[in-house]
């Protein structure tokens, strides 16, 4: 059972996929780290030797991952809000930050609210 930064890496997955369960470690970082350490990306975590485990743990924990990375990201957003930058205002209003259009897209951010007119004719009420 391989644990890195408080996260248990799944034993039944390939190492390059299993490392992505750690927040802040994606496929490219996992592949480059394994290549630098000389570990085959296709091996399972249960097949690693103790020296390989410790080397992998040290290499991953050198970078900001998990809680440290989340704190860093939230501090960056808080700084943008404090200086009232455009990106900070967009974060505050829960709108897209990177210049995307909001007339038709950004449903996940704004909620599934459609503010357009209805299509077709209105039904006549019978009296």
DSSP 68-101: HHHHHHHHHHHHHHHTT-HHHHHHHTT--SSS--
Span of 11-25, 76-90, 98-112 with lowest mean pLDDT: 98-112
pLDDT band at 45 (very low <50, low <70, confident <90, very high): very high
Instruction: Give the pTM.
Output: 0.75
Q: For the chain, where do the domains classified as CATH 1.10.8.50 start and end?
A: 2-61
Highest mean pLDDT of the ranges 41-45, 99-103, 123-127: 41-45
Question: Do 100 and 56 contact (CB within 8 A), yes or no?
Answer: no
Q: For the chain, where do the domains classified as CATH 4.10.910.10 start and end?
A: 67-109
Return the CATH number of the domain spanning residue range 2-61: 1.10.8.50
pLDDT at position 111, please?
A: 73
Please say if the pLDDT value at position 56 is more than 80.
yes
Residue 91's φ and ψ, nearest 5 degrees, are -65, -45
pLDDT band at 42 (very low <50, low <70, confident <90, very high): very high
CA angle 45, 49, 51 (to 5 degrees): 115
The alpha carbon of 52 is separated from its chain's Cα centroid by a whole number of angstroms, namely: 27
Domain 67-109: top CATH class: few secondary structures
pLDDT band at 118 (very low <50, low <70, confident <90, very high): low
pLDDT band at 64 (very low <50, low <70, confident <90, very high): very high
């Amino acid at each position: 059972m391989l644990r890195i930064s408080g996260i248990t890496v799944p034993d039944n997955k390939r190492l390059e996929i299993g490392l992505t369960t750690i927040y802040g470690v994606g496929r490219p970082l996992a592949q480059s780290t394994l290549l630098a350490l000389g570990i085959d990306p296709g091996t399972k975590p249960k097949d690693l030797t103790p020296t390989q485990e410790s080397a992998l743990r040290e290499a991953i924990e050198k970078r900001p991952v998990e809680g440290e990375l989340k704190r860093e990201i939230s501090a960056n957003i808080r700084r943008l809000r404090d200086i009232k930058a455009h990106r900070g205002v967009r974060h505050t209003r829960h709108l897209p930050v990177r210049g995307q259009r909001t007339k038709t897209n950004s449903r996940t951010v704004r909620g599934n609210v459609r503010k357009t007119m209805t299509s077709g004719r209105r039904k006549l009420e019978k009296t």
